[in-house]
Amino acid sequence: MKGRVLVIEDDQDISLSIRTVLSRNGFEVTSEADGKDGLRAFHSARPDLVILDIGLPSLDGWSVLERIRDLSDAPVLILTAHGRESDKVRGLHGGADDYLTKPFGNSELAARVEALLRRPRSAAPPAEVFDDGSLQVQLESREVSVNGQEVSLTPTEYRLLAALIKHPGQTLTPEQLLKLAWNDPFGVGPDRVKFGVMRLRRKLSQNASPGRDPGSSIEAVRGFGYRYVAPKALAGVAAVPRGAGSSTTRSSPRVDGTAGC
Ligand code: CA
């Protein structure tokens, strides 16, 4: 068995032909025909690779891709419709590893899948809980608490926080944050980042104790962007290993020289 592949595709003919080709080539293949079911199958089966259609019922491929990338580095091959060139760019920015345009040939499909599985992946397993002594984030259930008290965040605020804590001490530009939290690859409206950070800080500071305030851990780096620096008293205790979740910025430039802790 060369690897476990999850196919999320609502077109039954395409799904069947992918399953046939890949099982003939030695892969173990499962499939789902709907975005939500696909995501559930991803969580329970933890496949080695995902083949993801974009137009899907209940939850589209973009949302599925984003949720997969929140917690996993598994390669994702997206299927785009013929003539939708912009989908390729959007997919690659969103963390997809490769794409295939429908209709595609059987040998091309098998070759792409094999190539993706040969690629070296980040060695660190995805961290499931972030805890730096004052801020706790359950990355699977998206629960956030400060000093044991639950904090209710909007999906955008959560994604903004997740982007920052997955890169502790690293400054992310407003453009990177727009891409990661707002899914806006063109970066229109950096003011949204400023106000988003303001709201997030306010919520995180509500139950914080002095010196252990995750709200003030989100620092503005003038002229560059924002970063999350673990509370001073606990510097160095960041629970997320460096590199975990780095796949989210695989296609983005990194800002160096501003590492904090
Ligand atoms: Ca479809």
Which residues are CB-neighbours of 225 under 8 A, at least 6 positions away?
171, 172, 173, 174, 176, 177, 193, 255
SS3 (DSSP) at 7 = strand
- Structural domain boundaries of the chain? 3-118, 129-256
For residue 76, is pLDDT > 50? yes
Confidence of residue 261 (pLDDT cuts 50, 70, 90): very low
Nearest CA among 181, 150, 187, 153 for reference residue 167: 181
Contact by Cβ (8 Å): 82, 61: no
Whether 3-118 shares its CATH topology with 129-256 is answered no
Per-residue pLDDT of 6-35, as tens digits, reads 999 999 999 999 999 999 999 999 999 999
Distance 58 CA to ligand 1 centre (A): 11
- Cβ atoms of 173 and 225 within 8 Å: the answer is yes
What's the 104 CA to ligand 1 centre distance in angstroms?
Answer: 14
C-alpha triplet 227, 229, 231: angle, nearest 5°: 150
The CATH number of domain 3-118, selected from 3.40.50.300, 1.20.1070.10, 3.40.50.2300, 3.30.70.100:
3.40.50.2300
Phi first, then psi: what are they for 165, rounded to 5°? -75, -20
Distance 226 CA to ligand 1 centre (A): 37
Q: How many percent of the chain have pLDDT more than 70?
A: 84
How many whole angstroms from 40 Cα to the centroid of ligand 1? Answer: 18
Type of residue found at 56? L
Q: Are 163 and 173 in contact (CB under 8 A)?
A: no
Distance from residue 15's CA to the centre of ligand 1 (Å): 10
Exposed e or buried b per residue across 110-140, where buried means at least 16 C-beta atoms within 10 angstroms of its C-beta: bebbbebbeeeeeeeebbeebebbbbbbebe
Cα torsion 200, 202, 205, 211 to 10°: value is: 90
126 vs 216, higher pLDDT: 216
Residue 255 has pLDDT above 50, yes or no: no
Q: pLDDT (tens digit, 9 = 90+) per residue, 135-156?
A: 999 887 889 999 889 999 988 8
Is residue 249 scored above 50 in pLDDT?
Answer: no
Q: Which residue has the higher pLDDT, 232 or 200?
A: 200
Architecture (CATH level 2) of domain 129-256: Orthogonal Bundle (1.10)
